[in-house]
Amino acid sequence: MRKTTLSLAAASVLALSVQCAFAQDKPKPPPAWHQGKPAAMADSKLAPVPGKMTETPESDIPISKMKLPKGFKAEIWASGLVGARAMTMNDDQTKMWVGTRGIGRVYEVTNEGGKRTVKVVAEKLTQPTSVYANGALYVFAIDKVLRYDNAAKGVSGQPVDMTKAFDLPPQQHHNWKYVRVGADKKLYVPFGAPCNICEPEKEYAQIRRYNLDGSGKEVIAVGVRNTQGFDWHPKTGELWFTDHGRDWLGDKGPEDELNRLSKPGQNFGYPYCHANKVVDPDVAKGKKDACKDVTLPVTTMGPHTAVMGIHFYTGSMFPKEYQGVAFIARKGSWNRSKKIGYDVVAVKAGPDGKGAKVTPFATGFMDPKDNSFWGRPAYLAQLKDGSLLVSDEQLGAIYRISYEAPAKKK
């Protein structure tokens, strides 16, 4: 090979160097979709649950079906936000912005005088999400980063295009991004694996952080298949994040995960080691110690449940036992014959992640009797009064969960 290269080089140095550079940089094509879908499941008809892309009037939202622990109640806080996902608010919570996936919009919700009005402030984007920080609204699409300055009182005018600074890889699958700004004033941005199961190129299956202008890119977690939400622990300041397990290994798993990043650079196992040491049957073949040096989850979160947003509760409205609890929205399964998830759960764990216990909190979105559902809880946010907001991606609505202690018997 070397000899050939040398003789060729003599003939045309420039042409060869161009060619070589191209050959090296050309990404390996990701594997075909059927990989990871075993012959035994070839006839399976499981497919993603269709999202709803048209508006659902408030009167068509069966909020009364939502079940909560005693003393809690739910109401419709906002509706008409087709495909609503992650929520971000300005400091006084008079403005909220809500991103979407397929419909390509970012909504602005104005919260004034006990009423909410909704308008679209960004559109025609590929799966946009948004985060408010330092008076600006950052919008992340799969292929674009936009910054709307002076957004505290509402987004107006043209954004600054920041795309070039962020070095976004091109693949779309699993690359909708949940984005937050940490106490370190850095943007935390995930890059999912662009496949069900594959050995992805090095820019995927990770969480990065950047300075607000896109400089200082740093990969802080690897082996992350598809995180859809994270929050910082209120006591330790450590990043806790949800992660989706792979598909097509049957109803039992591998389970979704709740992870804790205790130091930058930790490896969370994908694609070789899933959940609590489930070695991948497709890509880890013949690999010794597939789970070596892998940081295992704080807790597994159920098979195919689609764990989304996480929020550590810090309000004073809910009973004491909810202090510091991690609420997690589980959008609900598709790659499972019996539906699971479609709820919000409460995870109680030590600050080091030990002794985690998962209990149902908001349920009733899905009926196990006939495998039907009406809503898909996606993200969580906390209002100043301590009530909890839950976005429902299916019906494009936001619900408010509040608590009132039952009156004491005289």
Partner 1 sequence: MLLLRKGRRALLAALFISTAHGQNTAPCAACHGVDGNSVVVGTPSLAGQPRIFLENYLVMTREGLRGNDVMRGLLKGVSDKEIIALAVHYSKLKPKPPVGKTDPKLFNRGREIASKNRCASCHEKTFAGREQMPRLAGQREEFLAQVMLEYRQNRRPGGDTLMTAALYGIPEADFKALAHYFSRLK
Q: Is 50 in the site for partner 1 (CB under 8 A)?
A: yes
Find the binder of partner 1 among 99, 159, 194, 375 (CB under 8 A): 194
Phi and psi for 97 in degrees, rounded to 5? Answer: -120, 140
Distance in Å, CB of 31 to partner 1, minimum = 6
Find the binder of partner 1 among 5, 15, 19, 55 (CB under 8 A): 55
Strands (E), 156-243: 160-161, 180-181, 186-191, 206-211, 218-222, 230-232, 239-243
159-167 contacts at long range (C-beta below 8 A, 24 or more positions apart): 159/122, 162/138, 162/213, 162/214, 164/214, 165/210, 165/213, 165/214, 165/215, 166/210, 166/214, 166/217, 167/203, 167/217
Residues between 164 and 183 that touch partner 1 (CB under 8 A): 170-176
Tell me the C-alpha distance between 212 and 226, whole Å.
23
Closer residue to partner 1, CB minimum distance, 101 or 180: 101
Find the binder of partner 1 among 15, 18, 53, 160 (CB under 8 A): 53
Q: Is 102 in the site for partner 1 (CB under 8 A)?
A: yes
Residues 6 or more apart from 234 whose CB is under 8 A from it?
312, 314, 324
Q: Is 42 in the site for partner 1 (CB under 8 A)?
A: yes
Closest CA relative to residue 69, chosen from 344, 296, 305, 255: 344
Pick the stretch among 40-48, 234-242, 278-286, 307-315 that binds partner 1 (CB under 8 A).
40-48
Q: Is 75 in the site for partner 1 (CB under 8 A)?
A: no
Q: Is 59 in the site for partner 1 (CB under 8 A)?
A: no
Distance in Å, CB of 185 to partner 1, minimum = 31
Closest CA relative to residue 245, chosen from 222, 268, 211: 268
Q: Is 38 helix (H, G, I), strand (E, B) or coil?
A: coil
Find the binder of partner 1 among 8, 9, 16, 31 (CB under 8 A): 31
- x-or-dash pattern for partner 1, window 110-149, by CB under 8 A? -------------xx-xx---------------x------
| Sites of contact with partner 1 (CB under 8 A) | 29-35, 37, 42-48, 50-51, 53-55, 101-105, 123-124, 126-127, 143, 170-176, 194-196
